[in-house]
Structure 1
Amino acid sequence: MELLINIDVDDLPRGIGFYQEGLGLRLSRKLFDDTVAEMTGGATPIYLLAKPPGSRPTTRADTRRDYRRHWTPVHLDFVVDNLETAIERALEAGAEIEDWPQEFDWGRQATLSDPFGHGLCFIEWRGQGYGGRRH
């Protein structure tokens, strides 16, 4: 099975800038009349989808897209070598910190949000990470 990650953004150039400067991904290509940006550099490509605020996410949805901070149980975790360096880089690119680094048996984690209201975490492994299962 192939996994693709899609992230809605209201400003594609700003999204590309954040994911390049803040997370170290690179623009691989633009698709569909420059409405989608393929960002690579991790194990799975991330596609930034230009979607205007106020648009409906599906034909059956009662809600509208809103790029203020929103909570969802689905978010992205980025494994980094140095948590403080990753946080600083993301903040300079427009992220907001939500929880400073916390310690766990498996490592350290910080919680942030991107400029489009999407939550993300930075993880710095300790030892074998999540119970020795590192891929």
Structure 2
Amino acid sequence: MQFLINIDVDDLERAIAFYRDAFGLHIGRRFGTGGVEMLGGNAPLYLLVKETGSRVAEPLAQTRRYERHWTPVHLDMVVEDVEAAVARALAAGAKLESEIRVNKWGAIAGLSDLFGHGFCLLEFRGRGYDEICL
């Protein structure tokens, strides 16, 4: 099985610049004006243009909005140096929502991108999540 990451955005060029500058991703392929494949992580990330106010799915009345929103699914990005990764993401326009916290397994910071999508930056330390496995 292969996982693909799809992120809805309302401004493709702005999204490309953010994900390039924040995470060092680069364009793999363009799909006309409606999307782009970003490479450089261990799974491809697809930025898909979806207009503000468009329906999210047929059976749902909800519409897309790009101010900060909550969803039970978010991205965690594992980095070598969480402090440097936070600084890079902030310089690209991310918003810091929770300061770097150190745990038994490593460090984590919570942020959001330019389109209201939350994500976390993780730096594993020691044995990573194995530090908390039973």
**Superposition TM-score, scaled by structure 1 size:** 0.94
**How far is the alpha carbon of 1:28 from its aligned partner?**
0.8
* Structure 1: gaps (5+ residues): none
Give the match for residue 7 of structure 1.
7
Give the match for residue 46 of structure 1.
45
Residue 30 of structure 1 aligns to which amino acid in structure 2? R
Residue 63 of structure 1 aligns to which amino acid in structure 2? Q
For residues 104 and 83 of structure 2, what CA distance do their matches in structure 1 show?
18
Give the match for residue 55 of structure 1.
54
Give the match for residue 20 of structure 1.
20
Matches within 5 A, 1:116-135: 116-131=115-130
SS in structure 2 at match of 1:8: strand
Q: Percent identity?
A: 51
For residues 11 and 60 of structure 2, what CA distance do their matches in structure 1 show?
22
Residue 43 of structure 1 aligns to which amino acid in structure 2? N
1:75-127 deviation line (CA, Å, top 9, x unaligned): 10111111111111111111000001001110000000000000000001111
Give the match for residue 77 of structure 1.
76
Structure whose residues are more often helix by fraction: 2
For residues 84 and 103 of structure 1, what CA distance do their matches in structure 2 show?
11
**Superposition TM-score, scaled by structure 2 size:** 0.95
SS in structure 2 at match of 1:131: helix
Moved over 4 A (4+): none
* Structure 2: gaps (5+ residues): none
For residues 130 and 113 of structure 1, what CA distance do their matches in structure 2 show?
23
**How far is the alpha carbon of 1:73 from its aligned partner?**
1.4
For residues 92 and 16 of structure 1, what CA distance do their matches in structure 2 show?
15
For residues 52 and 20 of structure 1, what CA distance do their matches in structure 2 show?
22
Give the match for residue 114 of structure 2.
115
Number of aligned positions between the proteins: 131
Residue 37 of structure 2 aligns to which amino acid in structure 1? E
Matches within 5 A, 1:62-101: 62-101=61-100
Give the match for residue 101 of structure 2.
102
